[in-house]
Structure 1
Amino acid sequence: MKYRHLFFDLDHTLWDFETNADETLRHLFAEHNIGRHGVTVEKFIKEYSDINHGLWRLYQSGKITQQQLRVTRFPRTFVQLGLREEDSPAGISEQFTDILPQKKAVFPYTYEVLDYLRDKGYRLHLITNGFRDIQYIKLDSSRLTEYFEEVVTSECCGHLKPDTRIFEHALERTGATSQESLMIGDNLECDVLGAYNAGLDQVYFNPDKRRHFNQITYEISCLSELKEIL
């Protein structure tokens, strides 16, 4: 077979971040009675998601730290909602990071495809920009730990995707070569372009079928399509 080592992204590729975050935010909205401020749960989730995505872009470009991301996203959400930073409940950020990784939703066909790939003899690994402590809890909660030989986090090697050094670190750690490796992820910049620049073929997981003009080795909208490639 052409590939021996398959490197997956975790969030938004296998672990359904949006579904799990939605459940967590609804729980926190109710627990802290945030609706008393005249805000709907849908508006709260939308503003938080927009703020969080923006902060993650800053984090991935090295402009803010992990701690800054964690402590500022909820106060900024409340300001964006027309409220005050002080209206953000004490401890809500810690609650979010405690509850979220215990959620179990994964994308359709995740287990079926991972079983298929493992049974065919592929060696499976993860490369993630997510926080190390959180990612391991997610893997355990969603019963994904058993599938992966190596979990390479940006914290463990000091570089974030799309920096080629995290891919090079992953290859070295797994004993793989770029020619026999394939990166599978949902993010065009971090996963696809990063892997391309490191010499790896790529699978762009694009469930929303977003338009783009990038040259990609493979593109899928459902994980089950990996069976047609591998």
Structure 2
Amino acid sequence: MKLKGITNIFFDLDHTLWDFDKNSALTFEKIFETHQVAVNLNDFLKVYEPVNLRYWKLYRDNQIDKASLRYKRLKETFDAIKIPVSDDLIHNLAQDYIQYLPTFNHLFDGTLEVLEYLKPNYNLHIITNGFHEAQQKKLVESRISDYFKTVTNSEMAGVKKPNPIIFDYALNLATTTRHESLMIGDNMEADIMGALNFGMDAICFNYHKELVTGSIKQVTSLKELKRYL
């Protein structure tokens, strides 16, 4: 069913347009080789990915700061797989990870097709909890920055999704209203419930095919957005 009255579409970036897991794996492969860290990449990622999600939730909830996020997710992962690494090496890996992550720019299948489809009829925007320096590089290096009229990140707004303040900040920047706006993202708490509780409509990009309850709109591929828009 086509949505009516929508003029502005806000996308999350990581895990929605930009294939974070794939790009992150390639980044770790590079920096482990550079620093001669003897670790099986698959074994590392199996532990790291849920650890990283947990620390991002703590960061969203203002329980840790950026520096702690970057250090502790690596420290906890190496401890769990019983590979001894020095604090200096962890800090170097954390710094190199941020530096090299935007150099890998795989997008989800259908990203460019959907952005081309939407751009003539909607104003497109980004709302991200990611760090400014990394997110801007991702948009530019993946050659999608020109599709978006505004980019709101949590450092600009002073809060993170799902806090309503960041949605209000983004809408003011885009000079639109919540009733004319739609949020598209993968994270149920930050993107979908954050937008819905703010009064914006939302569509969950459920690429991980988890159970979505209630009447929440969802797609499992970006191309399915054409059903709604």
User: Where on the TM-score scale, by shorter chain, does this alignment land: which range?
Assistant: over 0.9
Percent identity reads 40
Task: Work out whether residues 75 and 86 of structure 1, in 8 Å CA contact, stay in contact via their aligned partners in 2.
Answer: no
Is structure 2 residue 10 aligned with structure 1 residue 11? no
- Whether the 8 Å CA contact 1:128–1:152 is kept in 2: the answer is yes
TM-score, normalising length: structure 1: 0.93
Q: In the alignment, does 2:191 pair up with 1:188?
A: no
Q: TM-score of the superposition, structure 2-length normalised?
A: 0.93
1:27 aligns with 2:30: yes
Number of residues of Structure 1 aligned to a counterpart in Structure 2 = 225
8 A contact 1:76–1:85 mirrored in 2: no
Worse-matched range after superposition: 66-75 or 94-103: 66-75
- What amino acid is aligned across from residue 107 of structure 1 in structure 2? F
Contact 1:12 1:186 in 2 (8 A): yes
**Separation (CA, whole Å) in 1 of partners of 2:68 and 2:110:** 35
Matches within 5 A, 1:1-230: 1-35=4-38, 39-86=39-86, 89=89, 91-119=92-120, 121-216=121-216, 218-230=217-229
In structure 1, stretches of 5+ residues that fail to align are none
What amino acid is aligned across from residue 109 of structure 1 in structure 2? G
Choose 67-76 or 150-159, whichever is displaced more.
67-76
Q: Secondary structure at the match of 2:218?
A: strand
CA contact (8 A) 1:157 1:166 kept: yes
Quickly say closer, same or farther: Cα 1:77–1:212, change in 2 above 3 A.
Answer: same
* Most deviating of 3-12 and 200-209: 200-209
- Moved beyond 3 Å, runs of 4+: none
Deviation at 1:85, TM superposition (A): 4.5
Q: Which moved more, 1:174-183 or 1:42-51?
A: 42-51
How far apart, in 1, do the equivalents of 2:128 and 2:32 lie?
28
**CA offsets 1:16-69 (integer angstroms, 9 cap, x no match):** 00010011111222233322xxx4221112222232122111101110001111
Deviates more, 1:168-177 or 1:74-83: 74-83
